[in-house]
Amino acid sequence: MDRETIETDRVRLRLFRDQDTDGLVAGCGDPLTRRFLPHLPDPYTVADAHWWISEGTAAVWDRGGAAYAIADPADDRLLGGIGLDHVVPARAQGEVGYWLAPWARGRGIVTAAVRALAERALGDGFARLELLTEQENAASQRVALASDFRREGVRRGLGSRPDGSRHDLVAWARLADDPPGPVTRVLPDLPGGTLTDGVVTLRPLAADDADFVHRMHSLPEVVAHSVPPIAPDRAQVGRRCAEAAARWLAGARADLLILDAATGQPTGEIALYYQEPETGQAMIGYAMRPEWRGHGYPSRAARLLARWAFDQTGISRLVAGAAPENRGSQRVLEKAGFRREGLQRGRLPGPAGDRADDVLFALLARDLAD
């Protein structure tokens, strides 16, 4: 790639300049930037900014990549940085990376910058562009999707931190011959961000919900009907909550908290697992705090989630299971419109290494109208 400025109506991609020093120091010292770029110098100083402007960017260009400042086309103010590195000439492949200053977030700036850089690189002979995101960085994953990148999977232990620990990264790619336009999501966002019937409200699970979820899933009666029937540790629950948005964006699972609509208090959890995209079948599961049981909340939550699934996704059939002795859970499903279809012998792992039966329930879109 050449070092020519890339100009669009939303962003300008240009070389870094000395007048970007203050913006670099402020942007690279921001906690959110540092969280997902852990190898930046700490603290990030004026000297670090000067080195990047004069030497760091030149090294990237010399390796066959690109290092651009993201600037506002109106006043040329620094908004962030974007580049192409880890170039493999034999594969005509490079890796896109970026960061955005806090004063530029929430305006679609990064998406515009990634699209502009990707189109230039693919037009200049690159055949494949990769983009790697942290599991917990849902905002960056949304950028990848909006920039026509497709999720390819999780690369185990690819990321590293200054303390030597390693973590997984989500891999995305865009090919020169991919059809234009953002990739259609299997599980779209909730309209307005929540679902409600005025009695219960469902909202996506978030990292801050970990304590509530851990307490609930540590209750003996909840553990007994979990798969597997083992109480999770706090770290496991923390990771699950922090990575919930990534699973939703991947189209694998939608985790939601059940709230009392009047008070906003969390009462339970419900999840949709898109287990069979090929057949349009998904599964739901739920759990409630004991003090909120008996109010019909899980049935309401299941109907809300089912209506969203049937109306907004390609899901045509929902299934759920309940232990033969768990009449309470079976009544929840029946009140939500699910119909019993049979007994699945030995389907689930039992608490002592044995197998447990499961009663199968199913719901079709037409059942909600009956």
d(Cα 93, Cα 89) in Å, to the nearest integer?
6
19 has pLDDT over 90: yes
Q: Nearest-CA neighbor of 39 among 103, 102, 85, 93?
A: 85
Tokens of 7: 């100009």
Average per-residue pLDDT in the chain? 95
**199-231: buried (b, 16+ CB within 10 Å) or exposed (e) per residue?**
ebbbbbbeeebbebbbebbeeeebbebbeebee
**Cβ-contact 331, 298 below 8 angstroms:** no
The burial of 66, by beta-carbon neighbours within 10 Å (0-12 exposed, 13-18 middle, 19 or more buried), is given as buried
Domains for the chain: give ranges and CATH numbers.
Answer: 6-175 (3.40.630.30), 191-369 (3.40.630.30)
d(Cα 213, Cα 220) in Å, to the nearest integer?
14
pTM score: 0.91
Query: 346: part of which helix (H) or strand (E)?
Result: strand 339-349
pLDDT tens for 42-84 read: 999 999 999 999 999 999 999 999 999 999 999 999 999 999 9
Rg of the chain over Cα atoms, rounded to whole angstroms, equals: 24
**What is the DSSP-derived secondary structure letter of residue 184?**
P
Q: Is the dihedral of CA 206, 203, 279, 338 positive or negative?
A: positive
**Cβ-contact 14, 133 below 8 angstroms:** no
Q: How confident is the model at residue 370 (pLDDT cuts 50, 70, 90)?
A: low
Amino acid code (one letter) for 77: R
d(Cα 14, Cα 3) in Å, to the nearest integer?
8
pLDDT tens for 234-291 read: 999 999 999 999 999 999 999 999 999 999 999 999 999 998 999 999 999 999 999 9
Region 187-210 average pLDDT? 97
- Location of structure tokens 């496991």: 236
Which runs of E-coded beta strand occur in 50-149? 66-71, 78-88, 93-100, 128-134
Looking at residue 180, what is its pLDDT? 85
336 has pLDDT over 80: yes
Q: How confident is the model at residue 353 (pLDDT cuts 50, 70, 90)?
A: confident
Looking at residue 1, what is its pLDDT? 82
